[in-house]
Amino acid sequence: MPKKQLFISDLHLQPERPDIFEALLWFLDNIAQGAAELYLLGDIFEYWIGDDAPLPGAERLISALQTLQRHQDLAIFFQHGNRDFLVKTQWLDQANITLLPESYPLQLVNGQTAVLMHGDQLCTEDTEYQNFRSMVRNPAWQHQFLSKPLQERIAIAKSLRAESQARGAEKSYSIMDVSPDAVKQTLLCAKVDHLIHGHTHRPAHHQNQVKKGQGERWVLGDWDQAGWYLEVDEHELQLIRFEFPASI
């Protein structure tokens, strides 16, 4: 069977949305069958306050991934998003998931090359967010946060989420999207054929003019109303939307 690579992001799994959990389990049971590699490109979880306090339902996901790996030779990779940047190897190791750096070059099964990222680092015009990102991605800040009692972490996380939602409501559509210059620079520096990312919740396939030709940008969709994934096989890349199964 030909190999295929699958890419998903922005599921925002949370107890309040059991339908998304069920859609992911359906995806693993059906779409992921026969895949060689599965890439989770950030914001798989709506929030994460430490591996010692996994989101309700995370154990079920681990179990599903373990089952899938027992039945096929599947490699699973994870990149941090702006919601789940505190996921650490203690949790990932349970399902033999490899943690990737925030920018990762990849050889695709069709012979082309890509760079993977969550995508929030491309929103360079949102300077307020970039300052916040620099703070929370700092290892010292993370160590201090994870050292706090659980209830205090929960309170801080709720406050940060509320502030983020309030700030987002006040910002323009364009400032919250990726910067064209950042995209071009990423493609130039990585010297790849494709840039694959999520974060913006604006699924699309873009052609970007860069030095010595075109660079293609694939934006993964969020799983609010339907599921999205990018599938790469030996012939092509396809951005695919699917309805949540009716039984969910």
pLDDT digits (tens, 9 = 90+) for 98-107: 999 999 999 9
**The pLDDT of residue 136:** 95
**The pLDDT of residue 166:** 77
pTM of the model: 0.94
Worst-scoring range by mean pLDDT, 40-49, 173-182, 221-230? 173-182
Statement: residue 247 has pLDDT above 80: no
State the amino acid at position 240 in one-letter form.
I
Q: Look up tokens 């620079």; give the residue.
A: 185
Walk across the sheet containing 204-210 and list its strands: 104-107, 113-117, 194-197, 213-219, 204-210
126 annotated among ligand-binding-site residues? yes
State the amino acid at position 233 in one-letter form.
D
Q: H or E stretch including 115?
A: strand 113-117
201 annotated among ligand-binding-site residues? yes
71 annotated among ligand-binding-site residues? no
**The pLDDT of residue 67:** 92
**The pLDDT of residue 160:** 86
Higher local confidence (pLDDT), 165 or 142: 142
**The pLDDT of residue 164:** 78
Statement: residue 1 has pLDDT above 70: no
193 annotated among ligand-binding-site residues? no
12 annotated among ligand-binding-site residues? yes
Q: What is the mean pLDDT of residues 87-104?
A: 96
**Closest to 183 in 3D by CA, of 196, 168, 199:** 196
Measure Cα distances from 47 to 82, 85, 188 in Å.
9, 9, 33
**The pLDDT of residue 167:** 73
Q: What is the mean pLDDT of residues 59-84?
A: 94
Distance CA 125, CA 214 (A): 24
Q: What is the mean pLDDT of residues 163-183?
A: 79
Q: H or E stretch including 230?
A: strand 227-232
Can you list the positions of beta strands (E) in the chain? 5-8, 37-40, 75-78, 97-99, 104-107, 113-117, 194-197, 204-210, 213-219, 227-232, 237-242
Provide the 3-class DSSP secondary structure of residue 33. coil
The pLDDT > 70 percentage for the chain reads 93
Centre a 10 Å sphere on the Cβ of residue 65 and count the other Cβ atoms it contains: 20
**The pLDDT of residue 57:** 87
3 annotated among ligand-binding-site residues? no
Statement: residue 171 has pLDDT above 80: no
233 annotated among ligand-binding-site residues? no
Decide: 194 and 218 in contact? Cβ < 8 Å.
Answer: yes
**The pLDDT of residue 132:** 93
Decide: 110 and 232 in contact? Cβ < 8 Å.
Answer: yes
Q: What is the mean pLDDT of residues 83-111?
A: 96
235 annotated among ligand-binding-site residues? no
**Which structural domains are found in the chain, ordered by start?**
5-124+175-242 (3.60.21.10)
